[in-house]
Amino acid sequence: MRIRRSVSRFFTALILPAISLAVISYFGAYAIWGDRGLLQLEDVQAKLGLKQEQLAQAHAEQDRLAQRIQLMEAGHADPDLVEELARGQLMDGAPNQVSVPRSAR
């Protein structure tokens, strides 16, 4: 009886530490190998770099278009830009002049 009681106390005393160790191991493993763990950090940073580059290109395109819009405002339109747009739309020029279409940007 004595041995059985001491064995049951021993295992009862180990239950809480065993459960705690299991929970800590689970969350620790997820923190390293999980979807948002340390091993995924490098991939996420690479994707972030690509997205930042795309954002910079979009801002550059937006600035270029804003500049062209500013040049076309009524009252003080840039004559060179108006001529460029007219030639691009009409594909027509002076006699003996060859028009070469540009690729769309």
Q: Which domain holds residue 12?
A: 1-33
- Residues 45, 77, single domain; the answer is yes
DSSP letter at 83 equals H
- Residues 64, 84, single domain; the answer is yes
Q: Would you place residue 90 in the very low, low, confident or very high pLDDT band (cuts 50, 70, 90)?
A: confident
DSSP letter at 72 equals T
- Residues 62, 81, single domain; the answer is yes
Position 77 scores a pLDDT of 79
Distances (CA, A) of 7 to 13, 15, 16, 70: 10, 13, 16, 87
Q: Is 66 helix (H, G, I), strand (E, B) or coil?
A: helix
- Residues 85, 42, single domain; the answer is yes
Instruction: Indicate if the pLDDT at residue 105 is higher than 60.
Output: no
- Residues 76, 57, single domain; the answer is yes
Are 91 and 101 in contact by the 8 Å Cβ rule? The answer is yes
The predicted-structure confidence for 4-49, as pLDDT tens digits, reads as follows 777 788 788 889 999 999 999 999 999 999 888 899 998 999 999 9
The predicted-structure confidence for 43-85, as pLDDT tens digits, reads as follows 999 999 999 999 999 999 999 999 888 888 877 777 777 777 7
pTM over 0.85: no
C-beta atoms surrounding 84 within 10 Å: 13
